[in-house]
Each structure stands twice: as structure tokens, then as C-alpha cells.
Amino acid sequence: MVHRSAIGAAVMLILLLLPPDSWPKRLAPKPVPPVVSNGVKYEAAGNGRDEYVVASHANNGQEMWRVHVSHNRIKPWLETDVQEIYINKLELRGDLLWVEDEGSRCYQVDLKAKKVRKAQCQ
């Protein structure tokens, strides 16, 4: 039977042989808890470049609508994954859904008009 330490050493050796630019530079974004109000679930979605708020029926998950919240321009001469910015907070305030991203930028989503505007973080 192979010892765990030998397996661990083999894994470390393989990782060291990979080129450094193939190693991920950031951790996966933390999940953002959805906000549920009046039978509608609002969730953050996106890929770090384009971020959205998605509204779906709370009971069956069927998407009702989505709005584009932000676009993050990726500089091709820099590592992609360190430039990605994800939504990290959703908060319902009346008819507005406040959205904050990892870059400390804030937005308001008007839930009735389905419009987004930049806002001062509070």
C-alpha cells in the first residue's frame, strides 16, 4: 500500500512542474445569498466580466427577467482571473435592490422598472 505522504509528495511535484501562470490567482467567489420578496427570488449571476441580477419565481425557479448590472473590462496583458469582479451583496430596500460588488461599487436595481443605476455605497 502506498503511503499518504508519498501520494502527497507526488501531487506536490506535479503541481510544481505546472507553469505558474496555470495556477489560479484567486479563490472562487463566495456564494451570495438570494433575496426573496413577494414570491420572487433575486439572485446574483455572472462570470466576473458581466454581472446580472436574475429574478425568478420563488416556488418553481422559473426565470422571470434579468438585468445587466455591470461590465468589467479585462486587460489582455494581465491575468484574467485577478481582474474578475463579482457581485458579493444583495439587499432589498423598499422597491430597490441594492447590489455591491467586490470592487466596492454599488448599484440600485429598480424592481418595478427593471432599471439599474450606479449608487453611492452606504
CATH number of the domain enclosing 88: 2.40.10.480
Given this model, what pLDDT does residue 11 score? 65
The helix (run of H) or strand (run of E) holding residue 101 is strand 96-101
Report phi then psi at 15, rounded to 5.
-65, -40
User: Which residue range forms the structural domain that includes residue 66?
Assistant: 25-119
Least confident of 15-19, 46-50, 80-84: 15-19
pTM: 0.77
pLDDT at 106: 97
What cell numbers appear for 5 in the block?
505522504
The residue whose grid cell reads 422597491 is: 95
pLDDT average, residue stretch 17-28: 65
Phi–psi pair at 117, nearest 5 degrees: -145, 150
Asked if residue 16 belongs to a domain, the reply is no
67 is a domain residue: yes
CA pair distance 106, 87, nearest whole angstrom: 9
Domain count, the chain: 1
* Residue 93 domain flag: yes
Asked if the structure places residue 8 within a domain, the reply is no
Q: Does residue 97 sit within a domain?
A: yes
Give strand pairing partners of 35: 42
